[in-house]
């Protein structure tokens, strides 16, 4: 599981499932701290890390869905 600090995530327990709840802006800051280069797109941010690319929706105050978070990490090769 991705190790995020308390500042960057909350854990919620829903039907005995543990999920990470993180705002898009916080996840973007965390990615930048991991060495991911972030560039502006039209309605999204382009992410670059070790020759791999991904996109991040530009809705900073919204929560990032768990599947989207996992997909971005997988596309960038960050575990």
Supply the pTM of this predicted model: 0.75
Domains of the chain: 6-76 (3.30.920.30)
Q: How far apart are CA 37 and CA 19, in angstroms?
A: 26
Task: List the pLDDT tens digit at each of the 79 positions of the chain.
Answer: 455 554 455 444 456 566 678 999 999 999 999 999 999 988 999 999 999 999 999 988 899 999 999 999 999 999 7
* Angle, helix 24-33 to helix 66-76, in steps of 10 degrees: 20
Backbone angles phi, psi at 49, to 5 degrees: -155, 115
Owner of token pair 């499932």 = 17
pLDDT of residue 6: 45
């Amino acid at each position: 599981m991705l190790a995020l600090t308390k500042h960057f995530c909350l854990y919620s327990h829903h039907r005995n499932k543990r999920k990470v709840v993180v705002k898009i802006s916080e996840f973007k800051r965390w990615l930048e701290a991991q060495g991911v280069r972030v560039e502006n797109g039209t309605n999204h941010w382009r992410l670059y890390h070790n020759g791999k690319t991904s996109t991040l929706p530009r809705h900073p105050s919204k929560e990032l869905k768990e599947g989207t978070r996992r997909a971005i990490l997988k596309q960038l090769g960050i575990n």
